[in-house]
Amino acid sequence: MKLYALIAFVFLLSSATHRIKTPPVRASVNYDQLKEIIEKNDDKLYVVNFWATWCRPCIEELPHFLEVSSAYENQAPFQMILVSLDKAELLETDVAQMITKLNIDNDVYLLDDNKRMNYWISAVDSTWSGAIPATVFYKNGQKLHFTEGQLTKEELTTIIQKHL
Convert the pLDDT of each residue in 93-116 to its tens digit.
999 999 999 999 899 999 999 889
Average confidence (pLDDT) over 139-159:
96
Could you report the per-residue pLDDT of 65-103, keeping only the tens digit for each? 999 999 998 876 999 999 999 999 998 899 999 999 999
* Across 27-34, average pLDDT: 92
Distance CA 90, CA 84 (A): 10
Report whether 149 contacts 55 (CB < 8 A).
Answer: no
The secondary structure element, H or E, covering residue 78 is strand 78-84
pLDDT range class, residue 121, cuts 50, 70, 90 = very high
List, edge to edge, every strand of the sheet that includes 134-139. 25-29, 107-111, 78-84, 45-51, 134-139, 142-148
Report the pLDDT value the prediction gives residue 74, as an integer from 0 to 100: 82
d(CA 45, CA 42): 9
**Alpha carbon distance 64, 22 (integer Å):** 22
Q: How far is CA 110 from the centre of its chain?
A: 9
Report in angstroms the alpha-carbon separations of 161 from 18, 70, 88, 108, 153.
36, 14, 34, 23, 12
pTM of the entire structure?
Answer: 0.83
Are 163 and 144 in contact by the 8 Å Cβ rule? The answer is: yes
Sketch out the chain's domains with CATH numbers.
25-163 (3.40.30.10)
